[in-house]
Amino acid sequence: MTSNIVLSEVEYNVVGKRHVRPDGVDKVTGRAQYGADVQLAGLLQAKVLRSPHAHARIKSLDTSAAERHPGVYAVVTAADLPFASLTREELGGDYQRLKFASNHVLATDKTLFKGHPVAAVAADSLHVAEEALNLIKVEYEVLPPAMTVKQAMKPNASLLHDDLFTSELGEMSDKPSNVASHMAFEAGDVEQGFQQADVVLEREYETASVHQGYIEPHNSTAFWNADGQLNIWCSTQGPFVVRTNVADILRHPVSKVKVTPMEIGGGFGGKITAYLEPIAALLSRKSGRPVKLLMTRTEVFEASGPAPGTWMKVKLGASRDGRITAADIFLAFEAGAYPGSPVMQGAACALACYDVPNARINGYDVVVNKPKTAAYRAPGSPQAAFAVESVIDEICEQLNVDPLEFRLRNASREGVRRVEGPVFRRIGLVECLEAARNHDHYSAPLEGPYRGRGVAAGFWFNRGFQSAVNISVNPDGTVNLIEGSVDIGGSRASIAQQAAETLGIAYEDVKPTVVDTDSIGYTMVTGGSRTTFATGWAAIEAAEDVKTQMVERAAQIWDASVDDVEYVDGVLSHKSDPELRMTFRELARQLLGTGGGITGASNVDPAGEGNGFGVHVVDVEVDPDTGKVTILRYTAVQDAGKAIHPSYVEGQMQGGVVQGIGWALNEEYFFSDQGQMMNSSFLDYRMPTALDLPMIDTVIVEVANPGHPYGVRGVGEVPIVPPLPAIASAISHAIGARINRLPANPGAVLEAMS
Amino acid sequence: MPGLVHVSTTINGNPTDFLCEPRQSLLEVLRDVLGMTGTKEGCNDGNCGACTVVLDGRIVTSCLVLGVEAQGKEVSTIEGVASPEGLHPVQLAFLENAALQCGICTPGFIVASKALLDREPDADEGRIRHWLAGNLCRCTGYDKIVRAVLDAEDKMKA
């Protein structure tokens, strides 16, 4: 039995091979420079004073004693943000957006979650800064919190914002509410679809707030120079997004903000928002010194992005022959303290795996007194999949149909229109379902009591967005590749491989470097499974540009027409004169003497979507005395389109699965009655350890994406989607009772069993 | 500010003296006083293992050890794992098996894995998983890390 299978149809020279990553040695020796490792002359350390209350009005704030404390260089509050001095008239339509963004960074009149920043101090050392925080006097009027969508949607709920009005299907309502928006998708005739059904099931689900759990806490170092140039070194998935956010919140020109992305210690979507950068920048402007600001682990939990807790209802109808006839779905997602949950994405993903002719999906974005939610790997999709796939599992039981067979009968394929509009091009869901069915895991006997098997499918869009790459040819025939995509899991390798393949040179001859926002064109975040797809595309186009210029140079040297020169597998040759032939390396050596060096450049924004699908199979065992669930075996199947670096594709699949296992089984924010997080450490917010897990088996399916030169689809998001429903169904089969709330921790499993 | 304390210790085989505040952890001393930033901070409360170092033969989370406790002891960090001759087999195995993604937990895993293989060169999968349960990795799901440690055993015997 092979643990990691690649079902490959097209072979390349460099693409598809398992090369050692270019940044590998630095990362196994401790030499790689992460954000917290930044050292600058005169560097100050900063700390943030945070609200102890989930919901409170700030009655007074006095920082004078902290300012006088020896070793303190600067203290800032919301009064130092430009928003404080701008009138509503001056801001016009920008008012509410900037208010939310500014207040999120530093609270003004109200604090909206425990951990909400109120003030910050820069001092000689971290310990002095901590001492100074204790000298800041804040008087709060504590308000009742709204902690869940169910609480926050009640008519008499405590309101977070007195100027937030529901966007009701695009129309603004006139009464303040915690419901920021209500959106809907509809296709076909839902009522008629349910009439055609032989079985109709309606179920309700809930999931808890979970955190991305990256091991490196947020960090930011800023230096505001006397000429207004602001330099920022930080851990981010999107240096250009940070640049935009900082420029926006500080009302500072984009051209005066340079963001240098340091190596990043995990993100999973949670390191896009600029939490610390504006504060560090203000402290630096006030002190005239560079300022470093790090979050503690508790601050990471309490004040950076959980994925939303949810409340969901799914009604599904199916015919006796196993065809879905109609779906009616209600999704209410926690946005956290400010609007912006991924409920729209959840709604668009909910039914994407299936050809459902009649469907209606209503989604609600609801503010609650928790930290503002952030993206977490396929944001919104895992929760929606938990609800929809769980109902499908029950329908399969009722109809006595094999769950993979049922999914094959209904699977989305080329030409199917999703409920929100787009029509699929060639996709690989059917191939994934078949690969799962053919895998020996699916036919292996599952013996013993309290054991169950679950299967589920999952989807993510994998959209492209903007990327830029420059490639310069060195005299020794190697190339320097400059990119704006932060390398969060081996993308230097996958980008370099695509450049090498296109140029027809060796992988080792491409030297990739990730640079700051002054040094490369606009590049969107490393996230959304876009990097290997879109930055890879930019690398291919930059390499094609290099090839064009190399052909021109060869033609010039040979005194030939460019039409007479061809470039194949890294060799330039004259089409009719076999004597005229140069390798890439031979021509590279001549460049400086024949007109100068060559740099290929590209800015891309690929249209279309990669459309990733995965199918997972999991076996669990439940301890009937304690309710503890053990994962016995796990197999993840996914269509990668083309796995540029199979090891890192497997790594994405395995890592996503294990985050999904944590989400399904233990991870959860626990809150006090007053809305304080009670488990803000890795001891109490327990993520899976090596001891909790088996090996995670993988099958990479390769159905080439017709929208990418090498067929890449992107892989990072999909693998976190199926684990929630697959594990919930496996537990349900093991104990004979459904799991309708996650996490299914031991207490919840025991309760379901009774 | 409290006075500074003079500490004499040995780090990666080199006699080392430093001054630190009594309240500074060994992690702070390594990173902020000595500039040895290979040891990483993930939680500062002993639960993630990113700051794992070896202190007199035992692996510890350096965030839970005070700098002054290093007095007269031997400290080994990630910076001492490779030699001038090249990478340690554990480091090579992590590279070749793609056992890291973001890399922030990697120094802690390598220090802990080397400490295991130094005393148990034939540790099996279950033993490796048990030994590394104090080191959190959020990227890999541990599969390739465990395989890398098994591969390192073969490399160390070769």
Residues A574 and A470 in one domain: yes
Does the residue A312 lie in any domain? no
d(CA A141, CA A137): 13
**Phi/psi-derived region of residue A378, left when phi > 0, alpha when psi is between -120 and 50, beta in every other case:** left
In a domain, residue B46? The reply is yes
Residues in Cβ contact with A579 at an 8 Å cutoff, skipping those fewer than 6 apart: none
The reply to whether B137 and B112 lie within a common domain is: yes
Residue that finishes a domain, picked among B35, B52, B78:
B78
The 10s digit of each residue's pLDDT in A141-154 is: 999 999 999 999 99
Which pLDDT score, from 0 to 100, does residue B2 have?
Answer: 63
User: What residues have CB less than 8 Å from A421, skipping those under 6 apart?
Assistant: none
Reduce the DSSP state of residue A12 to 3 states and report it: coil
- Helix (H, G, I), strand (E, B), or coil: what is residue A255? helix
Q: Are residues B61 and B123 in the same domain?
A: no
Query: Any idea what the Cα angle at residue A289 is, between residues A284 and A293, rounded to 5°?
Result: 55
Segment B125-152 mean pLDDT:
98
Domain range for B23 is: 5-78
CA distance A234 to chain B (A): 14
Burial class (CB in 10 A: 0-12, 13-18, 19+), A150: middle
**Interstrand relation of A324-336 and A696-701 (parallel, antiparallel or unpaired):** unpaired
ipTM score: 0.98
Q: Cβ of A655 and B128 within 8 Å?
A: no
> How many domains would you assign to chain B?
2
Omega into A342 within 30° of 0, i.e. cis? no
Which residue type is seen at A328?
Answer: D
Residues B101 and B68 in one domain: no
Task: Please give the structure tokens belonging to residue A479.
Answer: 């190339």
Q: What is the DSSP letter of A633?
A: E
* Cβ atoms of residues A751 and A624 within 8 Å: no
Contact between residue A431 and residue A705 where contact means Cβ atoms under 8 Å apart: no
My answer on whether A239 and A111 are in the same domain is: yes
Is A559 inside a domain boundary? yes
Q: Are residues A561 and A681 in the same domain?
A: no
With a pLDDT cut of 90, the percent of chain A lying above it is 99
B102 within 8 A of B139, measured Cβ to Cβ? yes
The answer to whether the CB atoms of B129 and A693 lie below 8 A apart is yes
Alpha carbon B78 to chain centroid distance?
Answer: 5
| Rounded Cα–Cα distance for residues A723 and A454 (Å) | 9
The answer to whether position B83 is within a domain reads no
The answer on A595 and A519 residing in a single domain is: yes
Check A28 against B106: CB less than 8 A apart.
yes
Task: Give CA–CA dist A263/A268, Å, rounded.
Answer: 14
Judged by phi (left if over 0) then psi (alpha if -120 to 50, else beta), residue A288 lies in left
Same domain, A41 and A138: yes
Instruction: Measure Cα distances from A24 to A19, A29, B119 in Å.
Output: 10, 9, 26
Q: Which of A293, A309, A327 is the last residue of a domain?
A: A293
Distance CA A742, CA A746 (A): 11
Query: What tens digit of pLDDT does each residue of A47-68 get?
Result: 999 999 999 999 999 999 999 9
Residues B103 and B61 in one domain: no
What pLDDT does residue A9 have? 83
- B-interface mutation test, from A17, A20, A27, most B Cβ less than 10 A away: A27
CATH number of the domain bearing residue A686: 3.30.365.10
Whole-angstrom Cα distance, residue A411 to residue A172? 37
Q: Is residue A322 a contact partner of residue A401, using CB atoms and an 8 Å limit?
A: yes
Question: Which of B34, B81, B143, B149 would best serve as a mutation to test chain A binding (most A beta carbons within 10 A)?
Answer: B143
A118 and A45 both lie in a single domain: yes
Most A CBs within 10 A among B28, B139, B147, B150, hence the mutation to make, goes to B139
Q: Do A587 and A663 have their domain in common?
A: no
SS3 A204: strand
Residues A438 and A540 in one domain: no
The pTM of the full predicted model, rounded to 2 decimals, is 0.98
A569 plus A632 within the same structural domain:
no
Alpha helices in A477-535 (DSSP H): 491-503
Which of residues B28, B55, B78 is at a domain's end?
B78
What pLDDT shows up at residue B149?
98
Extract the tokens encoding A311: 């409340």
Asked whether B52 and B62 are in contact (CB, 8 A), the reply is yes
Asked if residue A751 belongs to a domain, the reply is yes
Q: How many whole angstroms separate alpha carbon A662 and alpha carbon A100?
A: 32
- Of A270, A293, A316, which closes a domain? A293
Using an 8 Å Cβ cutoff, are A589 and A615 in contact? Answer: no
DSSP 8-state symbol, B25: B
One domain, residues B56 and B103? no
Tens of pLDDT, residue by residue over A568-586, are 999 999 999 999 999 999 9
Is residue B84 in a domain? Answer: no
Q: Please state the rounded mean pLDDT for residues A13-40.
A: 98
In the beta sheet, which residues pair with residue A184? A362
| Contact indicator for A686, A695 with CB cutoff of 8 Å | no
Which two tokens mark A690? Answer: 């090596």
Do B149 and B96 fall within a single domain? yes
Do both A446 and A468 map to the same domain?
no
pLDDT at B1 over 70: no
CB contact under 8 A, A212 and B79: no
- Looking at the fold, whether B10 and B70 belong to one and the same domain comes out as yes
Taking CA atoms, what residue in A is nearest to B50?
A215
Q: Are the Cβ atoms of A30 and B21 closer than 8 angstroms?
A: no
Q: Does residue A24 carry a pLDDT above 90?
A: yes
Compute the distance between CA of residue A552 and CA of residue A681 in angstroms, rounded to an integer. Answer: 60
Q: Do A647 and B48 touch (CB under 8 A)?
A: no
Is B29 in the same domain as B71? yes
The residue out of B78, B98, B115 marking a domain boundary is B78
Chain A contact set for B1 (CB, 8 A): 71, 128
Q: Please indicate, yes or no, whether residues A724 and A628 belong to a single structural domain of this protein.
A: yes
Mean pLDDT of chain A: 97
Read off the CATH number of the domain in which B121 is found: 1.10.150.120
**A52 Cβ partners below 8 Å, 6+ apart?**
A114, A140, A676
What are A495's strand-pairing partners?
Answer: none
Residue A168 phi/psi, 5° resolution? Answer: -95, 100
Contact status, residue A264 vs residue A23, Cβ threshold 8 Å? no
Q: Is residue A299 part of a domain?
A: no
Domain that holds residue A72: 35-144+218-293
Question: What's the one-letter identity of residue A15?
Answer: V
Cα separation, A315 vs A442, whole angstroms: 28
Q: Spell out which residues of chain A touch residue B139, defining contact as CB-CB under 8 Å.
A: 266, 489, 651, 655
CB–CB of A716/A377 below 8 Å?
Answer: yes
Q: Are strands A219-224 and A291-294 parallel, antiparallel or unpaired?
A: antiparallel
Token pair of A682, please? 């890795």
User: Does residue B49 fall inside a structural domain?
Assistant: yes
HSE-up of residue A274 (Cα within 13 Å, Cβ side):
28
Distance of alpha carbon A554 from alpha carbon A546, whole angstroms = 12
Q: Could you say which of B37, B43, B128 has the minimum Cβ distance to residue A37?
A: B37
Q: In this complex, do A489 and B101 lie within 8 Å of one another by their Cβ atoms?
A: yes
Contacting residues of A for B132, CB less than 8 Å apart: 689-691
Interface test with B, best of A2, A34, A215 (most B CBs within 10 A): A215
Handedness of CA A631, A632, A638, A643 (dihedral sign): positive
* Residue A315 burial (CB count, 10 A): 18
The answer to whether A297 contacts B43, with C-beta atoms less than 8 Å apart, is yes
CA distance A481 to A420: 38
Is residue B55 in a domain? Answer: yes
Identify the band that residue A556 occupies on the pLDDT scale cut at 50, 70 and 90.
very high
Could you tell me the CATH number of the domain that includes residue A67? 3.90.1170.50
Please tell me the predicted confidence (pLDDT) of residue A2. 72
Assess whether A116 and A260 both reside in one domain: yes
Amino acid A465: pLDDT: 95
Count of Cβ atoms closer than 10 Å to residue A198 Cβ: 15
* DSSP per-residue string spanning A334-356: EEESSS--SHHHHHHHHTTTB--
- In total, chain B counts a number of residues equal to 158
**pLDDT average, residue stretch A333-362:** 98
Helix (H, G, I), strand (E, B) or coil at A729: helix
Residue A590 lies in a domain: yes
Number of domains in chain A: 3
Residue A309 pLDDT > 90: yes
Q: Which residue bears the tokens 């030699």?
A: B83
Under the banding of pLDDT at 50, 70 and 90, the label for residue A279 is very high
Question: Who's near A599: CB < 8 A, 6+ residues apart?
Answer: A470, A471, A472, A473, A546
State whether B65 and B95 are in the same domain. no
Q: Tens digit of pLDDT for each residue in A540-552?
A: 999 999 999 999 9
Residues near B20 by beta carbon (within 8 Å), at least 6 away in sequence = B4, B5, B7, B28, B29, B33, B67, B68
Tell me the average pLDDT across B50-71.
98
- What CATH number does the domain containing B48 carry? 3.10.20.30
The H or E element that residue A7 is part of is strand A4-7
Task: Show which of residues 98-127 on chain B sit within 8 Å of chain A, judged by CB atoms.
Answer: 98, 100-107, 110
In the listed set A583, A604, A625, which residue is the last one of a domain according to the structure?
Answer: A604
The C-alpha R_g of chain B, in whole angstroms, comes to 16
pLDDT digits (tens, 9 = 90+) for A609-646: 999 999 999 999 999 999 999 999 999 999 999 999 99
Q: Do B136 and A216 touch (CB under 8 A)?
A: no
Establish if A162 belongs to a structural domain: no
Instruction: For residue A29, give the nearest of B41, B91, B140 by CB distance.
Output: B91
Question: Closest chain B residue to A128 measured between Cα atoms?
Answer: B1
User: In angstroms, rounded to a whole number, what is the distance separating the alpha carbons of residues A511 and A34?
Assistant: 20
At A487, the amino acid letter reads D
d(CA A29, CA B94): 11
pLDDT given for residue A1 in this prediction: 53
- Is the CB of residue B12 less than 8 Å away from at least one CB of chain A? no
Q: Is residue B65 part of a domain?
A: yes
CB-neighbour burial class of residue A377 (10 A; exposed 0-12, middle 13-18, buried 19+): buried
Q: How many percent of chain A have pLDDT more than 70? A: 100
On whether residue B120 sits in a domain, the answer given is: yes
Co-location of B141 and B104 in the same domain: yes
- Which segments of B29-74 does DSSP mark as H helices, in order? none
Q: State the Cα–Cα distance between residues A90 and A73, nearest whole angstrom.
A: 32
Instruction: Note whether B67 and B104 are same-domain residues.
Output: no
The verdict on B100 and B53 lying in the same domain is no
Contact A308, A377 (CB under 8 A): no
Q: Is residue A285 part of a domain?
A: yes
In a domain, B103, yes or no: yes
pLDDT at A750: 98
Shortest distance, CA A158 to any CA of chain B (angstroms) = 34
Lowest-pLDDT choice from A183-187, A255-259, A604-608, A667-671: A604-608
- Contact of A141 with A59, CB cutoff 8 Å: yes
Residue A304: pLDDT band with limits 50, 70, 90: very high
